Structure 1
Amino acid sequence: MARYSTKPVALHQLLEQNSLACSAQHTQLLRQLNTELIRFLQLEQSAFCKISTIKAGRLMILCQSPAWATRLKMQRDAILANFRQKILPELAGIDIEVSPNLQLQYEKPEPVPQKDLPKISEQAADYLLAAADTMDGKLKEKLQKLAELAQRRSTTN
């Protein structure tokens, strides 16, 4: 008389069956494929196309314009060979579709606003020049440049 009808299962097997772990692996794989696609197309960021899903061993690439879809279709075999070699050897094929409403949002660094630099008075510039006269080498050059900058600002105002 067996008390339990199923045998114990190893923990790693249970975790492999977890849908959350599978979706995390799927997301990581898509991220790697998108990075490799950007590298292959020699772009800084993929603002025109992205890999959306993998279903039944086929990769789906969405493009914003027909021009990009045509470019990708012309390079489909090279992209497929690259992906098979570097990331996913069991990849069966690539499907390319145009989706004009595709929103490719990437975090772009916001431009840093230019701050008003502190203004140096003419008197401070004179002190810098006097201090530069007693110095040698690079420090003397730096102090003189700083004083000249202060004097140029005062003449432009």
Structure 2
Amino acid sequence: LILKPAHETTNEEWDSVFNVNVRGVWLGIRAFVPLMKGIGASIINISSIYGIVGAPSAAAYIASKGAVRLLTKSCAVDLIRFGIRVNSIHPGVIDTPMTKDLLHGDAETRKAIMGATLFDRPCQPSEVSKAVLFLASDESSFVHGAELVVDGGYTAN
């Protein structure tokens, strides 16, 4: 994770983040669509709350997650004719190895990373996977081009 404002981010850092977060999603879609045309498939892209709101010192990450958000919407428009639904999930802070040091370190760092989350805890990976299962299921058959936010109320505050 590159934690820098835009004006301090190098070309290489910017490209590295976009290659993983945007190009990876695009390549997945490109590979998936020819195999799934006409069978009622669902694409679920993982973005972030930081694809919806800004935060300090994470310009490349935030811009890349915003790109995933809008790539999802563009694909939703293009792919509905093939029976492919396309949605995105926007998790808040998830308790994973990537965030372990931030969440389980000192109280000041934890407070900063948790930000405006209304629950006094980070999201668990299983909570995101349940959102994925919903969007992949027939229970979400009329959900298309949507942003499912799983953030403990962060974006509501």
Q: Quickly name the TM-score band, shorter chain normalised.
A: under 0.3
**Comparing both chains, which one has the higher relative contact order based on Cα–Cα distances under 8 Å and sequence gaps of 6 or more?**
2
Structure whose CA Rg is larger: 1
TM-score w.r.t. length of structure 1: 0.25
